[in-house]
Amino acid sequence: MLPIGPMMIEHRLIERMIKVMNRALLQAEEQRKIDPRFIETATDFIRAYADRCHHGKEEDILFRELKKKKITPEHQAIMEELIEEHQRGRQVTGRLVEANSRYRKGDKDALPEILECIRTLIGFYPKHIEKEDKNFFLPIMGYFSKEEKDAMLTEGYRFDADLLHEEYQKTVMSEEKRS
């Protein structure tokens, strides 16, 4: 099994969340309001799953290993674009979190920024995923031996396990502080 298999499975879940966000956007545009709890759920998903888990494995494992290889200028350029796109996604998500915080506190003027950020993310992720799926993941696997692919896959599973433990440790610590 290639190490990209789990990453492509993650892409499908991200695409599902983007569809949910699109429905929420359409409803918010129609009703001129949005549920701040949904925005918290969506941004938590993007930050924890799409960015920390998925992009984390790409950057901390796959891209790290690719940097050790002599790759084509085309693949190098795509990898650099993907890293920049990850950074832009983080910036937009941060703006969305901030705007939602203002909206939750009663600032109705934050709604247009929330909607703009959602539109941006809805436009961003499908194109980003398509670039990875069609133009990057499959071709770059040719740079790796079976053993290297297996090692990255194992490291990816450890990465996920560590992330899960980290998240629940934060949850418990947060609840301990509140009680």
pTM (2 d.p.): 0.88
User: Residue 146: exposed, middle, or buried by beta-carbon count in 10 A (0-12, 13-18, 19+)?
Assistant: exposed
Number of domains in the chain: 1
Mean pLDDT estimate for the chain: 92
- Is 33 inside any structural domain? yes
- Is 179 inside any structural domain? no
- Is 177 inside any structural domain? no
- Is 26 inside any structural domain? yes
pLDDT, tens digit (0-9, with 9 covering 90-100), for 8-32: 889 999 999 999 999 999 999 999 9
- Is 53 inside any structural domain? yes
Closest CA to 89 of 111, 62, 61, 56: 56
Give me the pLDDT at residue 73, please: 97
pLDDT, tens digit (0-9, with 9 covering 90-100), for 146-178: 999 999 999 998 888 887 777 767 767 877 786
Q: What is the CATH number of the domain that holds 163?
A: 1.20.120.520
- Is 15 inside any structural domain? yes
- Is 132 inside any structural domain? yes
Domain that holds residue 55: 4-172
pLDDT, tens digit (0-9, with 9 covering 90-100), for 90-128: 999 999 999 999 999 999 999 999 999 999 999 999 999
- In the chain, what percentage of residues exceed pLDDT 70? 96
- Is 178 inside any structural domain? no
